[in-house]
Amino acid sequence: MSSASSTTGRKMVLSTLLETDHYESIIKELTCTKCKQYMKPPIYLCVDGHSICCKCYEKSYQCHICLKEFALIRPVVLESLANKVLFPCTNGGCPKHATLPVLEKHTPHCQFRIINCFMARVYGNCAWEGRAGEWMDHCFLEHKQKVTELPFITIKDKWDAKRTEPVLNYFLLKCFEKIFNVYQIYDKRGGRMMWTVLVNDEHADKFYFEVDIFLPNLPCKRIVYRRPCKCEKDADFLEHTQNVYIPVENVFSMLDEDESLNFTVRIGEVENLPLLETPTASESLILLNNDEHKED
């Protein structure tokens, strides 16, 4: 039997095992009877043997089932199982089974989790709720002006001085087999405009984005910035100095006759960026604050 056939066979056996009532009973034994969450070590027992997870134990002074005190012993075998068992994802319909550390990373980004349309948080005009994996299809159907399958999007946005929400605009770019989240944020207190791009990729710095602000009838007046994309899991993405920040007075100077800001956001791959050429000796070169070139 070939190695590939053997691997396929093992996967089929494992898949069958995970669906059995026997395996489900093991999962039930490793589920906290109080909060109904999977238990990971440390696990605690009462004197009658009822188990409870660490979080519930820290908030309890007696067993919630028999009302007796907790035991001093730890269920070593139960904790060993909890470290080895493949737990099913709690999002309905998801076929994922994994150890608890892996599952904890998977669940917040699972395509089967139920979410609300993020467009509603920015524009306030969408009541959609559904699986995360179906959200892009919804956006292409209901928010056509905010999404594109091109590596760029061009916007003409009417400036509204009365808007108080920090996120002015939010766009989705589906390209390079990724989903790029584009945010345009107005930091009124700091007196600046900010753009940032997040992508669901651990190696987000493989991609860059450009913000190109222009005046359609005045090609000589233009502002272009290039910055690296950042990972969606980066909780402090707004604090990074690698975002595009532009003073508001510079933005005002780029409003057209309709009081609109015209800009393009482009996505690219860093590996395809041309390197800057090193200047030759014959080209102009000025060295400032260099002691070797000071006259005696």
Angle value at C-alpha 70, between 67 and 76, nearest 5 degrees? 130
Average pLDDT, the chain: 86
- Which CATH number is associated with domain 27-109? 3.30.40.10
For residues 222-251, give the mean pLDDT. 84
For tokens 């770019």, the residue is: 173
**What global pTM score does this model have?**
0.72
Q: Where are the domains of the chain?
A: 27-109, 145-271
pLDDT for 180 beyond 90: yes
Mean pLDDT of 225-242: 79
Per-residue pLDDT, 23: 79
SS3 273: coil
- Give me 267's structure tokens: 């996505």
Residue 1's pLDDT is 47
Per-residue model confidence as pLDDT tens digits over 181-222: 999 998 888 888 999 999 988 889 899 999 999 999 898 999
What pLDDT score does 146 carry? 92
- Percentage, residues of the chain above pLDDT 90: 59
Strand positions, DSSP E, 136-288 = 147-148, 152-158, 167-175, 178-187, 192-199, 207-214, 222-228, 230-231, 244-247, 260-269
Given a cut of 70, whether residue 295 has pLDDT beyond it is: no
pLDDT of the residue at 55: 94
Q: How would residue 9 be classed by pLDDT, with cut points 50, 70 and 90?
A: very low
Is the pLDDT reported for residue 88 higher than 70?
Answer: yes
Q: Given a cut of 60, is residue 13 above it in pLDDT? A: no
Strands 192-199, 230-231: pairing is parallel
Distance CA(193)–CA(247), nearest Å, equals 6
Instruction: Report pLDDT digits (tens) over 26-79.
Output: 888 899 999 999 999 999 999 999 999 999 999 999 999 999 999 988 899 999
Contact predicate 150/165, CB 8 Å: no
CATH 2.60.210.10 is the classification of domain 145-271: yes
pLDDT at 210: 95
